Structures are given as structure tokens and as C-alpha cells.
């Protein structure tokens, strides 16, 4: 993984993160999904680094970040990431979440809108019509069918870093979290991205999320499934940059 490897410490929490680009007028903060780590954004980070400073984190208990003393809800994890943003940046950030990461960044955008320039939700979870572990596991297996070795090996390498108990606790918090309840209260402009072939996040559910956001815009990523950011940085990185170029002054 290229970029500058760093660590953030706050109380009992330590988070590994990677920094791309340079300090300037814009900063990006990238948050991965359950069982994954910042490596899923490695290609996207390099592209976005041409437009500003990029901070991609390993959430506590995932990737290269150790488990803290107690399992944290998604709301508590969002509070940790919000502190990280305050301590690592002075500017408003472009906040990007993938899968479970969308739930975390949505919490931050709702509670700290003054710190967020725009929000990007990639493959937002959890589909409220299929909110069980069994159904989500089935959809993930269906989505991964036919994926190439890069996606499968990256996912496997990240999953083995996570302890089963930590994963199960996070999955429970993830399934209980209601993204759709947050959306009406998120005031910042939001880009909602769905892979064209994403079985985990069906089109109707993602449209519902986008429509519930006061300033939401939905786009589909051609030819991609749920793990769209792993396969290659494009077209996701360019879609984010195009979205930014279309933002007017608040």
C-alpha cells in the first residue's frame, strides 16, 4: 500500500491510517465496511490524492487497528472517527463510506455537519427489507460470485485479521442500525453510489436512501457489484471528483 502510514491514538483506541496527497483546501476521509480495512481504498486514495489530502482509516478492531477494550456501537465508532477528523484536519472534509462505513459516516454528517463539505455513500447498508445476518450473508455470496482474484484475496486477507467475536458484535450493531432514519436529518450534499450489479444493496433500497436525503443524488457504477472500490479506483474516484466539481457555494 503506497502512501504515508500513520497511527492515531485516543484513550484506549488506536487506529492505523494511510495519508495520500498534501494539505490544502480539501481533505478526504475514507471509511471501510465490516471485515475490511483501509486497503480497499488504496487505489481510490491515490487518485483522490491529486485533489487534496486523503486519510483512509482502519476502524478499531479491523485491518491493522487493534481491538479496544470493549466492543463499540456504530454510533460510538462514529464519535471516534469524528474526533479523528477534528484532530487531524482543520478544513471541512469530503466524507466517504463504503458498506457499513456508510452508516458510520452518515452519523458523523448528521451530528457534525459543520465539519463535512459533502458526503459520499458507496453501497449503503443495511437494506431494511433484508435485515438479517443470514440474508446479508447470502447476498454477499451472490455478489461475490464471478469476482476476480483481486477482490476475493483482498477480502480474505482482511477478514482473517478480525477476531470472530469482534466481527459478530459489529455485525449485530450494523443490523440494528437504521440508516434510513438518519437520512432526513443529513443536511450536507450527498452522493449515493451503487454498483450496477450489487446484490447486497438492491436498486430500490438505494433509491429510497437517496430520496430520503434532502440533498441526495444517486448514481450507478457501471459493471460493478458491492465491492466496487476494490476492483479498481475507477470509475468511483472520478465520480467523486465530478460530484465535487458540481458543488456550488453553500
Domains and CATH numbers, the chain: 4-243 (3.40.50.1820)
Per-residue pLDDT of the chain (250 residues; tens, 9 = 90+): 478 999 999 888 999 999 998 887 799 999 999 988 999 999 999 999 999 999 999 999 999 999 887 778 999 999 999 999 999 999 999 999 999 999 999 999 999 999 999 999 999 999 999 998 888 888 877 767 666 656 545 655 666 677 888 888 888 999 999 999 999 999 999 999 999 999 999 999 999 999 999 999 999 999 999 888 887 889 999 999 999 988 866 5
* 233: its cell numbers: 479506483
Contact predicate 15/60, CB 8 Å:
yes
- Identify the sign of the CA torsion 55, 244, 118, 200: negative
Distance CA 126, CA 145 (A): 20
* 76: its cell numbers: 460510538
* 162: its cell numbers: 478480525
pTM exceeding 0.85: yes
Amino acid at each position: 500500500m503506497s502512501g504515508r502510514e500513520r497511527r492515531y491514538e485516543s484513550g484506549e483506541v488506536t487506529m492505523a491510517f494511510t495519508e495520500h496527497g498534501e494539505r490544502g483546501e480539501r481533505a478526504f476521509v475514507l471509511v471501510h465496511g465490516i471485515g475490511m480495512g483501509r486497503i480497499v481504498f488504496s487505489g481510490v486514495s491515490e487518485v483522490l490524492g491529486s485533489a487534496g489530502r486523503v486519510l483512509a482509516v482502519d476502524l478499531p478492531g479491523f485491518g491493522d487497528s487493534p481491538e479496544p477494550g470493549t466492543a463499540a456501537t456504530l454510533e460510538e465508532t462514529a464519535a471516534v472517527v469524528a474526533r479523528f477528523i477534528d484532530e487531524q484536519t482543520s478544513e471541512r472534509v469530503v466524507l466517504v463510506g463504503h458498506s457499513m462505513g456508510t452508516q458510520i459516516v452518515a452519523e458523523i454528517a448528521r451530528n457534525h455537519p459543520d465539519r463535512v463539505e459533502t458526503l459520499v455513500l458507496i453501497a449503503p447498508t443495511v437494506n431494511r427489507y433484508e435485515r438479517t445476518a443470514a440474508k446479508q450473508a447470502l447476498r454477499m455470496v451472490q455478489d461475490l460470485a464471478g469476482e476476480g482474484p483481486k477482490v476475493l484475496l483482498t477480502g480474505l486477507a482482511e477478514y482473517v485479521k478480525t477476531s470472530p467475536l469482534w466481527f459478530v458484535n459489529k455485525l449485530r450493531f450494523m443490523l440494528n442500525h437504521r440508516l434510513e432514519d438518519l437520512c432526513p436529518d443529513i443536511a450536507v450534499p450527498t452522493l449515493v453510489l451503487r454498483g450496477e450489479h450489487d446484490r447486497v444493496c438492491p436498486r430500490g433500497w438505494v433509491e429510497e436512501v437517496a430520496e430520503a436525503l434532502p440533498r441526495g443524488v444517486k448514481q450507478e457504477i457501471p459493471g460493478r457489484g458491492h465491492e466496487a472500490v476494490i476492483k479498481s479506483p475507477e470509475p468511483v474516484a472520478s465520480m467523486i471528483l465530478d460530484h465535487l466539481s458540481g458543488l456550488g457555494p453553500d
